[in-house]
Amino acid sequence: EAGVAQSPRYKIIEKRQSVAFWCNPISGHATLYWYQQILGQGPKLLIQFQNNGVVDDSQLPKDRFSAERLKGVDSTLKIQPAKLEDSAVYLCASSLGQGAQYEQYFGPGTRLTVT
C-alpha cells in the first residue's frame, strides 16, 4: 500500500515570505497529523484532524500557521509570514483512527529553511 506522501521535500524561503506544504495520507485513514521537528529535537504535534475536523491544535501558532483538510483526505499546512525559527522538518502522519491503538504512519517530511 502507498505510504503518506508529502511535497515539496525541500523548501528554502526568506523570512516574512509565505509557504505551503501538502500531505496525502494513506487511503482510508481518517486521522491526519502535522508535526514540526526542529533540528536536534523530537517531533512536536502542531495539529490533528479527524476527517475534516480539528481535534487538537493547541500547539499550533495560530498567528502565522494555518492548516486545512477540506474534503477529509489531503491536507495543507501554511506559514504566513515565516520566521527564522520556523526552520524545521514538517512531518505529516496518518492513522486509521484517533485512538492510541491506531499506529501512526509518517511521511518523508518537508525540510524548510528560512533565511
Partner 1 sequence: AQSVSQHNHHVILSEAASLELGCNYSYGGTVNLFWYVQYPGQHLQLLLKYFSGDPLVKGIKGFEAEFIKSKFSFNLRKPSVQWSDTAEYFCAVIFKAAGNKLTFGGGTRVLVKP
Which residue lies nearer to partner 1 by CB, 41 or 71? 41
Pick one of 40, 53, 63, 70: the residue that binds partner 1 (CB under 8 A). Answer: 40
**CA 109, CA 91: separation in Å to the nearest integer?**
4
Which residue lies nearer to partner 1 by CB, 4 or 114? 4
Neighbours of 84 (CB within 10 A): 10
Closest CA to 22 of 78, 102, 80: 78
- State the minimum distance, in angstroms, from the CB of residue 93 to partner 1: 8
| Strand 10-13 to 110-114 pairing | parallel
Which residue lies nearer to partner 1 by CB, 74 or 102? 102
CA 24, 76, 28: angle at the middle one, nearest 5?
30
**CA 39, CA 111: separation in Å to the nearest integer?**
10
Pick one of 42, 53, 63, 70: the residue that binds partner 1 (CB under 8 A). Answer: 42
Site string (67-106) toward partner 1, x via CB under 8 A: ------------------------x-x----xxxx-xxxx
Interface ranges with partner 1 (CB under 8 A): 3-4, 40-45, 48, 55-56, 91, 93, 98-101, 103-109
